[in-house]
A = this chain, B = another copy of it.
């Protein structure tokens, strides 16, 4: 295939961040303004101010692969198409679904201009609200088992906690699987001191924001819903109590010296 066969269409995946316009980057604002057509989960599309002449295609949250395919087909017609994504498109969001669809789709889709505009993913927004809980090595694990087997998730939790990683948990529960976060906590329990800080955060920057810290022995998995991001600290993670202010939670940069 020669370069002149490159198609004119463009597909841009735009990370909206956690939900408030203050988290939008300049690049994301420009990409939203320049698109002819927007695809996305309905509540994410609702965050984007309407623009005359720009069409919108809302879809359900679980239809990621179908949304990716529809948006690619639309871009292949020569349109400038954007898919909006909560947080960052590359972190448990739309970018992998789009790459899967390109890989499985017609060869012509490989000549499309596919661009990804990064955004503030939930673990960064929740961490920022509380201090520096991700201050050391950390990992991000999704507890959704509709795309991977639960025993693999358990193996990853064991490996991460056993090696002292702070763990950011995405998709902690769902309507169909309310048991996941509780099962994950039981899996983590042998690895962690009961005083290990655990943060529950949701809707950062929105009117219903709720971010709070507790300890592992007091952490109730039932307070999480599907939009909650959970950060489980490591043995070194500390809570600084502050009179008249919310506590600061941080993981020291050095595992052997919390204060030096």
Task: Please give the residue numbers on chain A whose beta carbons come within 8 Å of chain B beta carbons, in ascending order.
Answer: 1-3, 5-6, 17, 21-27, 30, 65, 88-91, 95-100, 102-104, 110-111, 113-114, 116-121, 124-125, 127-129, 131-142, 147-149, 152, 155-156, 158-160, 162-165, 238, 240-245, 248, 250-256, 258-260
Contacts and interface: CB of A to CB of B under 8 A. Distances in A.
B240 A131 contact: no
Give 3 closest A-B pairs by Cβ, nearest first.
Answer: A96-B135, A99-B250, A139-B139
| Count of identical protomers in the assembly | 2
A249 to B, nearest CB: 8
Nearest to A31: B22
B137 A142 contact: yes
A6 to B, nearest CB: 5
A190 to B, nearest CB: 15
Given A21-B26, A160-B165, 6 more contacts: A22-B30, A89-B132, A100-B250, A102-B240, A116-B132, A118-B124
A148 B234 CA distance: 15
